[in-house]
Chain A
Amino acid sequence: MDLNFTPDEIAFRDEVRAFLKDHLPADIREKMIEGHHPSKDDMVRWTRILNKKGWAVSHWPKEWGGTGWSPVKQYIFQEETMAAPAPQLLPFGVSMVGPVIYTFGNEAQKKRYLPAIANLDEWWCQGFSEPGAGSDLASLKTTAKREGDHYIVNGQKTWTTLAQYADWIFMLVRTDPAAKKQEGISFLLIDMKTPGITVRPIVTIDGGHEVNEVFFDDVRVPAENLVGQENKGWDYAKFLLGNERVGIARIGMTKERIRRVKQLAASERDGERRLIDDPRFREKLAWIEVELKALEMTQMRVLAAESKRERGKPDPASSILKIKGSELQQAIRELALDVAGPYAAPYREEVEHGWNEPPAGPDWASTIAPAYFNYRKVSIYGGSNEIQKNIIAKAVLGL
């Protein structure tokens, strides 16, 4: 057991820091600090800056643009970028469909899709959930019927994040209605421009447009867009969801938010004293920091064990990362709400290219309540915290 990074790892960290300092555009960084969502253009710009450096898909195989970094270096890189704070890369390409394609896809698919993911030339979205298939994902009903060299897709997906920008959607579809639930599912790549696809926005409680319903009406998809084997899609989905859980603790991001909350609490006065000088407030903040440190160590343990595990088999302890990681993301945003107090109440409208002037109170307060509302999502998506607990109870505790 040794907590220290090696000299090589420290040099690497410094290199990443220096790169972020020089290359993360100031306007994007500012936006992130203030708690605004990065725009599509921000995401594209930042991904391309990273890709030029060869760091956009660092965890991929070298052949497809990966770096070959050790898990510890991957971790350092993630931490530093989130702490910068830089936008998180669009996960649907980089962390989800990309790994599925390079693991289970054919050569033609790898060549066709992977470079465009790395450079965000193509925007991907995830078409898994349906109105009737959330936690019980395997009950999905969207069908793909083989007709000659095409699949004809019919059905509906929902909660599709940022589908409004998407060029492509990766889907779980039912190809064998007669088979058992998990066994008749295939993994299909669909061009969003194909006739018969309709995207309808869903407005969330914070007033944002982040998720969508996507409808499929006799959508003709070339059979070559099938990934891997027909009716084996569930295996690929499990592999993908396993990858999703590892990055989901967002420890670096919570650290960055803690710094932000400290800074705000130092700027906001409660009568004679600064909020940060209130011992009750400091204790609440300290507890979040303690829990986060413990989680960081759990993350390290999972990472260290991961390099020794069979690929594609997620560590059940990674469910801890999702549960605690999401709780802490929520806790720090709730604490920010306490800091803003009454000044979080005004609603600041998000307009197409930015935001209106904040109607009242300090500038920074306008994103606080929306973030508190919006981050309720992190314990719902990616396998809800209740589902994560079911997994731990079964897989770890044997209950």
Chain B
Amino acid sequence: MDFELSEEQRMLKDSVDRLMADEYDFDQRKKHLKGPHGFSDGVWSQFAELGLLALPFSEADGGFGGGPIETMLVMESLGHGLSLEPYFASVVLCGGLLRHAGSPEQRAHWAPQIASGEKKFAFAHAERHSRYDIGHVETKAVAQDGGYVLNGEKSLVLNGDAADMLIVSARVSGGARDRDGIGLFIVDARAPGVTRRGYALQDDRRAAEITLHNVKVDAQHVLGAPGKAFDAIERTMGEAIVAACAEAVGCMDEMHKQTVEYLKTRKQFGVTIGSFQALQHRAVEMFVALEQARSITMYATMLAASDDAEERRRAISAAKAQVGRSIRFVGQQAIQLHGGVGMTHELKVGHYFKRATVIDMFGGDADYHLAKIADAGGLAS
């Protein structure tokens, strides 16, 4: 048993924390938000310079060979800083798909472009009726002239408006929810037939609705074996869920800190409100929920790369379930204990509440994952 970070991991965490402290205070963040795609190209370049965008790729592919623990550290720090940068979309999601589905040639070609920040990627996967089912794909891919032609509509594509490249999931065979028959296709976001409509999310990040109309993909842009992409998608989504849990832990840690700080400074009835035992206990309950979330996120992080698919799945669902429950409690109580000011757009704490709430909606909420665990006969195997 060892929960200590290595020297390198500590340096990684410190460098991201420092970058966020320098570039992402609340006022700077407001400025970044006004950028054309709702984040800062300048900070994005600094992510590249620090090597964050290269982190999960193998050294052979021009990366640093970081694993789930390194990703967890980065995501937690980004959660602390309430980052708007498309790290999750480009590096965690699309980087993951490239690692799990890409051929050596494809990885050698695309990984350095993600790592340098030269190309931003987005994962065009979810659809209007897919909800939390990652096997639900109705977009069609039809073989033609040695390549494919894509038709369909993708929804809630995180950072899809800013992306240079899209990884699109589409069905080469089977019915809407068959696990078999799904392919992954790399598509230039400006290719003929691609229409994007970008919009803001509740937590200030951005997403896009994307329509694909007779979009041509040549053979070298088909990621992995067409029709057999489900496993790569599941692996990637699993890792992404754990990464999102880490981001949520960062958000909750901030909410808890800010709340405790507020209890120490806000005075009513001639005393700081933190002197009321009712509020002390509530802050402790928030702390318990936070630490439970932190622990299970570590658990899932350490199992995220496990080759035992069953064990991996259960650990990931356990993490998302606990984190989802913690998000609701910590978020709601952070607002409650701030009183009226907690309700204001001007104060940071509400923004963390909203980010955490949106994270809860990604990859299945607590009920969804609890049901998965229950249906699998519980956690103990």
Contact = CB atoms under 8 A, between A and B. Distances in A.
A342 B132 contact: yes
Contacts of A390: 278
Given A280-B367, A341-B132, A341-B365, A346 B340 contact: no
Contacts of A385: 336
B146 interface: no
Interface stretch (B63-71, B103-111, B200-208): B200-208
A159 interface: yes
Contacts of A360: 155-156, 199, 207, 209
Interface string B345-358: 11000110110011
A191 to B, nearest CB: 25
Given A136-B269, A270-B131, A281 B367 contact: yes
A361 B155 contact: yes
Contact of B156 (A202, A272, A345, A386): A345
B199 A359 contact: yes
Contacts of A342: 126, 131-132, 156, 361-362
Contacts of A372: 357
8 closest A-B pairs by beta carbon, nearest first, are: A359-B199, A205-B350, A136-B268, A203-B345, A347-B200, A136-B269, A376-B335, A369-B202
Nearest to B350: A205
Contacts of A330: 332
A205 B340 contact: no
A134 B340 CA distance: 8
Contacts of B203: 345
Interface of B: 126, 128-129, 131-133, 136, 155-156, 177, 197, 199-203, 207, 209, 267-270, 276, 278-279, 328, 332, 335-336, 339-340, 342-346, 350-351, 353-354, 357-358, 361-362, 365, 367, 370-371
A280 B197 contact: no
Contacts of A349: 200
A186 B138 CA distance: 67
B361 A379 contact: no
A384 interface: yes
A376 B336 contact: yes
Contacts of B155: 360-361
A342 B155 CA distance: 10
Contacts of A139: 268-270
Contacts of A280: 367, 370-371
A269 interface: yes
13 contacts: A132-B267, A134-B340, A203-B345, A204-B345, A269-B129, A271-B133, A280-B367, A280-B371, A342-B131, A345-B202, A359-B197, A359-B209, A384-B339
Nearest to A386: B278
A286 interface: no
Interface string A170-206: 0000000000000000000000000000000011110
